[in-house]
Amino acid sequence: MPTYDFRCGGCGKRFTLTMSISERDRKRITCPKCGSRRVEPVFSSFFAKTSRKS
């Protein structure tokens, strides 16, 4: 499952949630610290692990 990074517009806390893509589209995301719904996605890097050897 993918992880998503967010930042709260109310208190400024950054947090990470692990959820499916369909759950991300349906769910109303709230800040775990203050409960605000003013949450913005934060773009971050990612990596992929494969079984292929170089």
Domain count, the chain: 1
CA–CA gap between residue 5 and residue 14 (Å, rounded): 7
Q: Is residue 48 situated within a structural domain?
A: no
For the chain, what is the HEC assignment?
CCEEEEEECCCCCEEEEECCHHHHHHCCCCCCCCCCCCEEEECCCCCCCCCCCC
φ, ψ of residue 53 to 5 degrees: the values are -95, 145
Which CATH number goes with the domain that contains 10?
A: 2.20.28
Residue 14 lies in a domain: yes
> pLDDT by residue (tens digit) across 1-54?
788 999 999 999 999 999 988 888 888 899 999 999 999 999 877 667 777 776
Provide the residue range defining the domain that includes 10: 3-42
Predicted structure pTM score: 0.72
